[in-house]
Amino acid sequence: MSAQAATAHPTTARSTDIVRQIGVISAVSFMLIAAVVGVGALGGTPVQDLQDGALSASGSYLAPATQAFSIWTVIYVLMVAYAVWQALPSQRADARQRVLGWWIAATAVLNGLWLVSAQFTTLPVTVIVIVLLLVTLGWTLHLAVQNPPHGVRQALFTDITVGLHLGWVALATVANSTAWLTQIAPAEWAQAADAAAIAVIVVVALVGAGLALASGGRIAPGLAMGWGLVWIGVGRAAGEPASMPIAIAAWIAAAIVVLVPVIVTAVRFARNRT
């Protein structure tokens, strides 16, 4: 659907709109239940202890320190807030909800499926699921950019929610994939761990900068990526496996992914004023 189409505000609700609202609530509910299972609250194994510890803060050279995962609380709160907000009668026939609603629901389902796959399947399956989640989030942000928000609430409940989710999952995909490769790689590959990890961090910084340019300077993805990179640096500087070169590279990349969207926004604002 085009941006012009999504700016229209139809006044007649369809039966499919109610189905969409219920679908979003159901998807977010599934995600929350999976999260409760994932932290071990219902008798399951906590995520950091799954897959022989491969998903823990010391599972690989690109695993963030434990404190980084507190961002999930922010993402979950925003997802719940979105589910409640989009269920309001005022949002039922909103054109932007018709564009984004099912895609955001899909990200919630894939989020929950990752936790289920981590709990009950194998590490390669978790990589497949998180890549699918990353692609779905990327497409959802693309749709949000093509159909700009109208007002603070639309920006908060959709763009910021999706942006933070995307930025963090981009980092989580790197950590998840690295954890898997660490498990299957020959022991002698450890000698090149610093160089390989720094190369990946450079790619992450480029991806973060690319997201900022493609999204017109949206800062939420960069903030989430920067948060994760900072804690990767902390993990390598103060934890195991230790590597100060990786820590420094991660901190530099964090500054890049946060500053680029700020610069893009400032340039765009300056051009609009002239």
The answer as to whether 5 is a domain residue is no
pLDDT tens digits, 135-193: 999 999 999 999 999 888 899 999 999 999 999 999 999 999 998 888 887 777 677 88
> Residue 263 has what pLDDT?
95
The answer to whether 236 and 244 have CB atoms below 8 angstroms apart is yes
The answer as to whether 60 is a domain residue is yes
Nearest Cα to Cα of residue 175 among 34, 76, 72, 56: 56
Structural domain that includes position 164: 13-273
pLDDT tens digits, 199-258: 999 999 999 999 999 999 999 999 999 999 999 999 999 988 899 999 999 999 999 999
Q: In sequence order, which residues have a C-beta less than 8 Å from that of residue 132 and are 6 or more positions away?
A: 110
How many domains would you assign to the chain? 1
The answer as to whether 19 is a domain residue is yes
pLDDT tens digits, 62-86: 999 999 999 999 999 999 999 999 9
Taking the C-alpha atoms of residue 131 and residue 4, their distance in angstroms, rounded to an integer, is: 31
Q: In sequence order, which residues have a C-beta less than 8 Å from that of residue 38 and are 6 or more positions away?
A: 44, 46, 47, 115, 118, 119
Taking the C-alpha atoms of residue 39 and residue 41, their distance in angstroms, rounded to an integer, is: 6
The answer as to whether 4 is a domain residue is no
Ramachandran assignment for 216, one of left (phi > 0), alpha (psi -120 to 50 degrees), beta (any other): left
Amino acid type, 266 = A
Tell me: pLDDT of 5 over 50: no
Amino acid type, 169 = V
The answer to whether 15 and 104 have CB atoms below 8 angstroms apart is no
The answer as to whether 1 is a domain residue is no
Around 118, how many Cα atoms within 13 Å sit in the side-chain half-sphere?
Answer: 30
pLDDT tens digits, 32-73: 999 888 777 766 677 777 776 778 877 789 999 999 999 999
Tell me: pLDDT of 27 over 70: yes
Nearest Cα to Cα of residue 212 among 223, 200, 201, 203: 223
The answer as to whether 34 is a domain residue is yes
Confidence of residue 23 (pLDDT cuts 50, 70, 90): very high
> Residue 268 has what pLDDT?
86
Confidence of residue 4 (pLDDT cuts 50, 70, 90): very low
The answer as to whether 174 is a domain residue is yes
> Residue 44 has what pLDDT?
67
User: To which residue do tokens 């099912």 refer?
Assistant: 102
> What is the DSSP track for 105-126?
HHHHHHHHHHHHHHHHS-HHHH
How many H helices and E strands in the chain?
11, 0
Backbone angles phi, psi at 145, to 5 degrees: -70, -40
The answer as to whether 7 is a domain residue is no
